[in-house]
């Protein structure tokens, strides 16, 4: 059940009506949310519904056991058990075949192969990378004594499975969401309008911009790069940058908007990332809930910014290598993470150098625009590693870029208008968006409804016959 499908629209309306009908009855509304969330997940694959129930139950009971003892050795053993089970599920379903393939290739490379090892013929459970990170953060925070255990199983199961963010985030922490389940739900007309507007804006990003650019240009270029000029390859690289932003931030907008309709607040996950003036700033703006998760549960435990510069650089590189691997079981994702880790280390080295030398870059009026431009180029070209299926395709794209050919027969006016119009809007101040939302909230309800209906009609006309899945569903 995709967010950009009619089925989800009907599903959301039904849940919305039932939720507010049961709003006064805490247990009943929690039951509704859990049933709705499991129905939503089962629409993808009923078989794997048991996996998320198992993962949730494990961390619920481990949390209770951890809260019942003060013995540090027992608490640590329980944490290791949670880590082992959750990461074990990821290892089996997401990484087993990747590691087996890597072993086979390594053996063959050193001249001891070929060797055939057993592979698993399983589908990747949708959302497993997201909900395992949520349950892991709960267990780790309990171990660190930063939160109290959730003793209500119904509430904890809703926290893990809450349908708007279940499949592709934002990654929500227990400390942010569990208290909201205890509160009597309240929502204003302005919040309903804001929620509806976020859903519409998310669908516009996904369907009218991201999908259109992808299906009418970007996908064709990356599928057969040898058929296109260097200029067209370059535009496809920039196009994929906008496609993945519209696709993923569009999903987040729909998730946050859907939650807001029921009075729940989810964390912000994007803040115009292509306006970043460094790769560090980029990760403060892109997939924010993942970057803060990696910071708090991986980078800091590795040592964070403590110790020598060499140790800090090591921590940055390891964090981003694992962050790349989180995105997909393939070496091109690992290399994408490594590139970002190296650039984070270089960014820190440059900051350390200019501080030690008393260099005031803020006094250079051209410095920030230049750094925004350079950061955008780095992020755009590392998207090649992210988009291509394997390293052979990466090399094919880079070779075509190196030809410096300038043919533009495949660059249609509509693709270019959507691409550069989107980037232009992306670079505008956030205040413009906020002001537009305030103005929309002040419009009469009939006018707001008419706008929503108009958007739906337009989306139906521009949408492809087949509903296009979201990119991050594969992670």
Q: Report, as residue numbers or ranges, the catalytic residues.
A: 327
How far apart CA 230 and CA 221 sit, in angstroms, is 10
Write the CA distances from 275 to 271, 282, 370, 425, integer angstroms: 9, 8, 11, 11
- Count helices and strands (H / E) in the chain: 23, 0
First to last CA, the chain: 17
What is the helix (H) or strand (E) element at residue 133, kind and residue range? helix 128-143
* Sign of the C-alpha dihedral computed for residues 181, 187, 192 and 194 taken in this order: negative
Strands, DSSP E only, in 39-118?
none
Give the helix ranges, DSSP H, for 152-229. Answer: 153-161, 163-166, 174-182, 189-203, 212-213, 219-223
Using omega within 30 degrees of 0 as the cis cutoff, is the peptide bond preceding 114 cis?
Answer: yes
In the block, which residue shows the tokens 């997401």?
Answer: 94
Q: Are 226 and 400 in contact (CB under 8 A)?
A: yes
Long-range contacts from 351-359, C-beta under 8 angstroms, 24+ separation: 352/309
Give the span between the Cα atoms of 119 and 99, in whole angstroms.
10
* CB contact at 8 A, 230 and 400: yes
**For the chain, how many residues are written?**
475
Of residues 188, 251, 201, the one with CA closest to residue 452:
201
Structure tokens at 105: 């290739």
Contacts of 107 (CB under 8 A, 6+ apart): 113, 114, 115
Alpha carbon distance 124, 366 (integer Å): 47
* Distance, CA of 82 to CA of 60 (rounded, Å): 10
């Amino acid at each position: 059940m995709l967010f950009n499908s009619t089925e989800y629209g009907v599903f959301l309306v039904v849940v919305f009506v039932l939720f507010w009908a049961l709003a006064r009855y805490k247990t009943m509304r929690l039951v509704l949310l859990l049933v709705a969330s499991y129905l939503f997940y089962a629409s993808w694959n009923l078989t794997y519904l048991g996996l998320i129930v198992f993962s949730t139950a494990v961390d619920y009971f481990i949390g209770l056991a951890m809260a019942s003892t003060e013995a540090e050795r027992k608490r640590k053993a329980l944490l290791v058990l949670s880590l082992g089970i959750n990461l074990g599920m990821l290892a089996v379903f997401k990484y087993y075949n990747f590691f087996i393939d890597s072993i086979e290739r390594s053996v063959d490379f050193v001249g001891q192969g070929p060797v055939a090892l057993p592979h698993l013929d399983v589908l990747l459970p949708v959302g497993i990378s997201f909900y395992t990170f949520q349950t892991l953060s709960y267990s780790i925070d309990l171990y660190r004594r930063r939160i109290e255990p959730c003793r209500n199983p119904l509430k904890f199961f809703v926290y893990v499975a809450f349908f708007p963010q279940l499949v592709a985030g934002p990654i929500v922490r227990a400390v942010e969401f569990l208290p909201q389940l205890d509160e009597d739900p309240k929502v204003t007309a302005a919040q309903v309008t804001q929620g509806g507007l976020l859903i519409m804006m998310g669908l516009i990003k996904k369907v009218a911009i991201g999908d259109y650019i992808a299906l009418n240009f970007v996908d064709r270029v990356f599928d057969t790069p040898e058929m296109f000029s260097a200029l067209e390859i370059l535009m496809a690289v920039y196009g994929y940058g906008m496609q993945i932003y519209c696709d993923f931030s569009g999903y987040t907008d729909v998730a946050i908007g859907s939650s807001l309709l029921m009075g729940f607040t989810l964390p912000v996950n994007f803040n115009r990332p292509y306006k970043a003036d460094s790769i560090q700033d980029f990760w403060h703006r892109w997939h924010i809930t993942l970057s803060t998760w990696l910071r708090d549960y991986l980078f800091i435990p590795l040592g964070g910014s403590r110790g020598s510069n060499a140790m800090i650089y090591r921590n940055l590189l390891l964090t981003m290598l694992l962050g790349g691997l989180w995105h997909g079981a393939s070496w091109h994702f690992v290399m994408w993470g490594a590139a970002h880790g190296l650039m984070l280390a270089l960014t820190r080295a440059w900051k350390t150098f200019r501080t030690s030398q008393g260099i005031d870059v803020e006094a250079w009026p051209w410095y920030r625009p230049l750094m925004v431009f350079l950061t955008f180029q780095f992020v755009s070209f590392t998207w090649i590693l992210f988009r291509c299926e394997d390293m052979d395709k990466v090399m094919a794209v880079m070779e075509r870029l190196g030809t410096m050919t300038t043919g533009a027969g495949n660059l249609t006016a509509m693709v270019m208008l959507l691409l550069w119009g989107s980037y232009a809007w992306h670079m505008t101040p956030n205040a413009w968006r906020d002001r537009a939302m305030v103005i929309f909230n002040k419009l009469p309800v009939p006018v707001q409804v008419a706008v929503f209906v108009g958007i739906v009609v337009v989306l139906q006309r521009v949408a492809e016959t087949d509903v296009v899945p979201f990119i991050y569903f594969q992670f």
